[in-house]
Structures are given as structure tokens and as C-alpha cells.
């Protein structure tokens, strides 16, 4: 790139190009961003297909030095652009994403996803599961930050949907799913969670208002590899209104920051920030999503 220029279609501070022949194999802190411009199973407010573009654009509002975290953004990461998502076909889109993420993992690059609807998380986690000796997620803890449980087996008859994503993740046999910020679910989902209390832990938004420290202590004690999935609707609509399904009484940006700081020294295998549904420059939802990715990467510095 020519000095004095920037590329708004790439996340701020990303490296220019990957030399696939010379990727250090002993470095476990290389990251690759992939956008998934897909929103075909959305049930309410459409537009998350524009999320990757608008979140990248918003990433240019931050500085190289992260004042809050007292860190410089010198983590090595690449922005590979957007998946060729297949409109109307969630399964094919997830299969394609699985192939792409497998490629990244085989090149020792850990994936970061910008959604797009939450259903795409299945593609990235299937690739991570395939890369495990056990061929599943039995060693991995899923930190799932969301207003919704998304753990119903099928939604309107569809197995692959933004509303069923955590059931599809559950099918991959994770060690544990920790659901944070929950304030919307069906009775069937509550019963499923109760039935599988050995594998699913809940921190509802209401409980977190009383004690956030309890959550941080719980996360601090994690010893296993982690995958972090953030649906932006975990945030209160005051901070993130441009979403598929906003729900009032949510978390604050500071809450998310505290979670990321708490997990900064853990073995994170992958990370996604989903559901930003805006096509407007300067959108607050996109700025908060970009900040989450910026903070995550700054903390890996
Ligand atoms: Mn949600």
C-alpha cells in the first residue's frame, strides 16, 4: 500500500499481505479476519449482510494506542475480506466458511469472524472441531455472549438458523457453553438448559446487574481452550440498536470490555462478533462491534 493511504474495506491496523510460505508455525498469536455478509434466515430486522463492511469502516475511528487498555495494537492479523456467501442457503454458506476457516487453521492462523447473522458461527466451529484430535469440541469452552439462548433445536422447521445456532454448537459436543447476557428465550429452551445443566451455564442479564464479579471469577477459573461468540444484541439497544433482534435491558460496552480483559491470557481458538445490521456510516452498533474486535486484538498484543 502507498504511504499515506488506507483501505476502508480492511480492518484498521491489519497487515497488508500474507506470505503463506513463511508463516511462523510456532506463533500461536496470528489472527485472520473473515467477513460473512449473510442474512438469509433473519426473522425481524434485516441487514446484517452489511455488517462486515460497516464494522470495518468503523474500525478507523480507533487509534494505534489503546488508551483504556494501555496497549499498542501490534498483534499480527490479516483481513482476508468477505466469504462468497450463498444468499438463501445457510448450509452451503456454513460449509464454505468451514473450508475457508480450515485453511486458515492449517496455516496456523486463528479465525475472527465479522457477521452477518449468527448462524455462520456453525461454519467456524465445525472447522475448529475437525481440527481437534477428538473431532469435536469436547475440550473447548464456548463463551457465548447474547440476549438470546439460540438453543432451540429447530426454528420454524429449520435446523440451520440464527435462532438455533447454539443447539448446532451443542451438537458438536463442547465441554461447556457459558451463556452471558441472556434475557430472551422460550420455555422449551429453558427446559433444555435445565436438562443439560452439566454442560450449559447461564449468566442472565438480570443476575449480572446484581453481580458482575461473579461472572468474572467464573471466567477467570477457566483452564481449557476457549471460543468466544458475541452476538451484538447482548448489548443494550441504547448502545447497539441496529440488530436483527434487539432486546432491552442488556449489557454495557464496559461489561464486554471487562469480559475480554478477564480472558486476555487464555487460549482463545477463535472469536466472532455477529449480527450488526446497518448500512449507515458512523452507526453506533458498528462502532461498538469494531471496538470489541479492536480491544480483543489489542489485548493479544
Ligand atoms: Mn441474539
Examine residue 11 and state whether it is found in any structural domain, yes or no: no
Query: What average pLDDT does the chain have?
Result: 94
Ligand 1 mean position to 3 CA, how many Å?
A: 40
Average pLDDT over residues 73-91: 94
The predicted structure's pLDDT at residue 215: 98
Residues with beta carbon < 5 A to ion ligand 1?
146-148, 231, 233
| Total count of domains within the chain | 1
Q: What are 38-62's pLDDT values in tens digits?
A: 988 777 888 889 999 999 999 999 9
Examine residue 222 and state whether it is found in any structural domain, yes or no: yes
Q: At what angle do helices 284-299 and 51-58 cross, to 10 degrees?
A: 70
Q: Quick count: other Cβ atoms within 10 Å of Cβ 74?
A: 11
Ligand 1 mean position to 106 CA, how many Å?
A: 30
Ligand 1 mean position to 147 CA, how many Å?
A: 5
Examine residue 17 and state whether it is found in any structural domain, yes or no: no
The predicted structure's pLDDT at residue 8: 82
The predicted structure's pLDDT at residue 3: 79
Examine residue 24 and state whether it is found in any structural domain, yes or no: no
Examine residue 37 and state whether it is found in any structural domain, yes or no: yes
User: Does 24 score more than 70 pLDDT?
Assistant: yes
Ligand 1 mean position to 148 CA, how many Å?
A: 4
Q: How confident is the model at residue 20 (pLDDT cuts 50, 70, 90)?
A: confident
Ligand 1 mean position to 181 CA, how many Å?
A: 10
Ligand 1 mean position to 163 CA, how many Å?
A: 8
Examine residue 12 and state whether it is found in any structural domain, yes or no: no
Query: Which CATH number belongs to the domain containing residue 237 in this structure?
Result: 3.40.800.10
User: Does 68 score more than 70 pLDDT?
Assistant: yes
Examine residue 179 and state whether it is found in any structural domain, yes or no: yes
Examine residue 255 and state whether it is found in any structural domain, yes or no: yes
Q: What are 242-275's pLDDT values in tens digits?
A: 999 999 999 999 999 999 999 999 999 999 999 9
Q: How confident is the model at residue 7 (pLDDT cuts 50, 70, 90)?
A: confident
- Cα(277)–Cα(26) distance, integer angstroms: 37
Cell output for 77: 492479523
Ligand 1 mean position to 115 CA, how many Å?
A: 12
- Cα(273)–Cα(293) distance, integer angstroms: 8
What is the Cα 91 distance to its own chain's centre?
Answer: 19
Average pLDDT over residues 150-167: 88
Of the candidates 123, 134, 117, 137, the one whose C-alpha atom is nearest the C-alpha of residue 274 is 117
Q: How confident is the model at residue 136 (pLDDT cuts 50, 70, 90)?
A: very high
293: containing domain: 30-299
Ligand 1 mean position to 234 CA, how many Å?
A: 7
The predicted structure's pLDDT at residue 1: 67
- Quick one: what percent of the chain has pLDDT higher than 90? 82
Amino acid at each position: 500500500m502507498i504511504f499515506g493511504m488506507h483501505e476502508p474495506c480492511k480492518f484498521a491496523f491489519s497487515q497488508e499481505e500474507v506470505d503463506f510460505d513463511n508463516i511462523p508455525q510456532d506463533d500461536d498469536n496470528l489472527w485472520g479476519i473473515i467477513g460473512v455478509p449473510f442474512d438469509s434466515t433473519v426473522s425481524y430486522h434485516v441487514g446484517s449482510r452489511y455488517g462486515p463492511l460497516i464494522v470495518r469502516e468503523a474500525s478507523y475511528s480507533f487509534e494505534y494506542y489503546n488508551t483504556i487498555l494501555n496497549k499498542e495494537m501490534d498483534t499480527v492479523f490479516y483481513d482476508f475480506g468477505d466469504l462468497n456467501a450463498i444468499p438463501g442457503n445457510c448450509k452451503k454458506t456454513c460449509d464454505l466458511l468451514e473450508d475457508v476457516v480450515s485453511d486458515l487453521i492449517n496455516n496456523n492462523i486463528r479465525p475472527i469472524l465479522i457477521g452477518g447473522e449468527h448462524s455462520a458461527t456453525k461454519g467456524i466451529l465445525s472447522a475448529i472441531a475437525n481440527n481437534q484430535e477428538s473431532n469435536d469440541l469436547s475440550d473447548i469452552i464456548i463463551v457465548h455472549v447474547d440476549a438470546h439462548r439460540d438453543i432451540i433445536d429447530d426454528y420454524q422447521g429449520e435446523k440451520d438458523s440464527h435462532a438455533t445456532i447454539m443447539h448446532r454448537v451443542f451438537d458438536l459436543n463442547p465441554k461447556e457453553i457459558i451463556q452471558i447476557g441472556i434475557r430472551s428465550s422460550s420455555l422449551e429452551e429453558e427446559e433444555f438448559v435445565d436438562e443439560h445443566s452439566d454442560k450449559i451455564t447461564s449468566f442472565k442479564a438480570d443476575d449480572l446487574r446484581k453481580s458482575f464479579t461473579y461472572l468474572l471469577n467464573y471466567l477467570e477459573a477457566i483452564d481449557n481452550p476457549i471460543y468466544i461468540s458475541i452476538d451484538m444484541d447482548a448489548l443494550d439497544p441504547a448502545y447497539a440498536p441496529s440488530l436483527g433482534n434487539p432486546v432491552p435491558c442488556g449489557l454495557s460496552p464496559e461489561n464486554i470490555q471487562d469480559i475480554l480483559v478477564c480472558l486476555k491470557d487464555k487460549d482463545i481458538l477463535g472469536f466472532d462478533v455477529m449480527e450488526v445490521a446497518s448500512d449507515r456510516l458512523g452507526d453506533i452498533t458498528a462502532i461498538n462491534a469494531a471496538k470489541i474486535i479492536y480491544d480483543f486484538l489489542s489485548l493479544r498484543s
